[in-house]
Amino acid sequence: MNKLLFFFKTYGIKYEYIREFQRIGLKKDNTFSNYNTIIDSYSIQCNGNNYILDYKKKGRPQYILKKEKIIINAVSQPKFLEKFKGIEKVEKIKVDRQKEKIQGTAFRKLRHFLKLNKKQFGQSINKSENTIIRYEAGSLALHSDVVLAVLTVHNLKLSIYKRLLEETLISSNLNYSFNDFHIVGELERFYNKYGGIKMSDFLTADDISIICKIKKAKAYRIIKEINEEMERKGYIIIRGRVNRRFFNEKLGIQDTDKGGKA
């Protein structure tokens, strides 16, 4: 996950991606440099205050936060976090381990439903066996994009995951409901908006290496770059696969596959 988005989510800060733009760089002596700086711009809200945050994403990192007379200019994320927390007095969201364990148990039941071992399950969504172990134990936070990847790759309905989570909630004897699990809400909003997704909507590294006549390693770098851009814009992504439409737009390719809607 993009480190900046991880910061937003960890501290419960609302954000909206604005756009990417280029800005002429300046040297320390205030003369123009001979290259453009690529900036990602965000609108963020914390404790009722609105800010514009520009993040230089290529080259040496830089975080520029603007709000009226308040300006934070930091060359590293740790320094930016320290200054921002000092202004806004934000505190890291406490992880509810019981909730994470419930989600992990439901995730394990989903794997059992598919009759896969941890290694096979991980390979199907481009995750390591150790990552699957941590998800199921509740020691690693489970995000909606991971569950969506499983449902998509294995052609499962959202109702199956919801049923397994409900069974886990009942057996836990803890006072939780669906509303306490953000994953359910995020997935329901996604399905209501897009009607779910199909694997035909995505390209693999093998597909891209054939289309572009490049090595598989280069294809994976292209997937990573496009997925990072989509994630910054708030899309749910599937690791190791790339949205067909976004890929075609980036390369200026006309999509002739009528079944591949985004």
- pLDDT value of residue 24: 66
| Alpha-carbon torsion angle 149, 253, 59, 46, nearest 10 | -50
- pLDDT value of residue 33: 59
112 vs 44: which has the higher pLDDT: 112
| pTM, two decimal places | 0.62
Over the stretch 94-123, which tens digit does the pLDDT of each residue have?
768 888 999 999 999 999 999 999 999 998
% the chain with pLDDT above 90:
24
* Rounded CA separation 59/220 (Å): 21
- pLDDT value of residue 260: 39
Which span out of 65-79, 192-206, 218-232, 242-256 was modeled with the highest average pLDDT? 218-232
- pLDDT value of residue 5: 78
Q: What is the mean pLDDT of residues 218-241?
A: 83
Half-sphere exposure of 168 (CA within 13 A, CB side): 22
CA–CA distances in Å: residue 38 to residues 112, 128, 153, 251: 45, 33, 34, 19
Q: What is the mean pLDDT of residues 25-49?
A: 73
The single-letter DSSP state of residue 68 is T
- pLDDT value of residue 261: 37
Q: pLDDT band for position 228 (50/70/90)? A: confident
- pLDDT value of residue 88: 85
Architecture of the CATH domain 97-196: Orthogonal Bundle (1.10)
Lowest mean pLDDT among 66-75, 126-135, 215-224: 66-75
- For residue 92 the two structure tokens come to 């890291």
- pLDDT value of residue 26: 59
Q: What is the mean pLDDT of residues 62-83?
A: 81
CB of 220 closer than 8 Å to CB of 237: no
Lowest mean pLDDT among 85-89, 97-101, 257-261: 257-261
Q: What is the mean pLDDT of residues 3-30?
A: 75
Q: Name residue, tokens 């205050």.
A: 49
Biggest distance spanned by C-alpha atoms of the chain: 66
Segment (H or E) for 245: helix 244-251
Over the stretch 145-177, which tens digit does the pLDDT of each residue have?
889 889 988 989 999 999 999 999 989 888 888
| Alpha-carbon torsion angle 249, 254, 259, 262, nearest 10 | 10
CB of 113 closer than 8 Å to CB of 100: no
Q: pLDDT band for position 182 (50/70/90)? A: confident
- pLDDT value of residue 180: 83
Q: How far is CA 49 from the centre of its chain?
A: 24
* Rounded CA separation 148/161 (Å): 10
| Residue 20 clears pLDDT 60, i.e. is over it | yes
Q: What mean pLDDT value characterizes the chain?
A: 83
